[in-house]
Amino acid sequence: MSTYNRSVVAVTNRSLCTRPFLEQVERVCAFQPAALILREKDLDESAYEALAADVLAICNRHRVPCVLHSFLDVAKRLGVKQIQLPLWKLEEAAADANRPLDSFSRIGASVHSVEDARRAGQLGASYLIAGHIFATGCKPGIPPRGLAFLREVCHAASVPVYAIGGISLDSEQMQSVLSCGAAGVCIMSGMMRL
């Protein structure tokens, strides 16, 4: 196992897979990343829940923490204590009088500015995912924010920051990201084609 594996969070995207999705999840979990975020934004709640149950079984078998994305109620029903949210959804949940965030031991927030990072920390985020750092096919035509942006977010944040966007398993690139103060990296394309 690479010394970097524990700094890598795998992020899913079924549309990038060249093999059946659950087979790919099995391969990713065998790699032993720090966690796997099930980020399938095109699914409705019921389809997401069905897929999440299958993915959780694979993650549990490999002892890889599974983080669900956006669907707070699905995570609660499946007993998942880690959730990743876009900042707007974190704001919405934090303002909810029913306190839906109380069910989670770890809450991640996606941020795209230093101001976002500060706001997410104030709202109770346990960690941040900042991006996109490098050019990526997932965001064609949108310029990357770069390493200077990542350094600023890491400096401003009160919680660990993970970089996302155009990051590969290349050790030199990983080192450049980690040297900015990031706790780790999130990799989508590279994990879905592993």
Q: What gap in Å lies between CA 66 and CA 57, rounded to an integer?
A: 10
Q: Vertex 151, ends 147 and 181: CA angle to 5°?
A: 110
Active site residue 112: no
Q: Are 74 and 51 in contact (CB under 8 A)?
A: no
Q: What gap in Å lies between CA 166 and CA 173, rounded to an integer?
A: 10
Per-residue b/e over 5-26, b at no fewer than 16 CB within 10 Å?
eebbbbbbbbebbeeebeebbb
Active-site residue among 62, 69, 112, 132? 132
Cβ contacts of residue 95 below 8 Å, gap of 6+?
none
Q: What gap in Å lies between CA 73 and CA 101, rounded to an integer?
A: 10
Q: What gap in Å lies between CA 179 and CA 182, rounded to an integer?
A: 7
Name beta bridge partners: 168.
Answer: none
What is the sign of the dihedral through the CA atoms of 70, 74, 76 and 81?
negative
The catalytic site residues sit at: 132
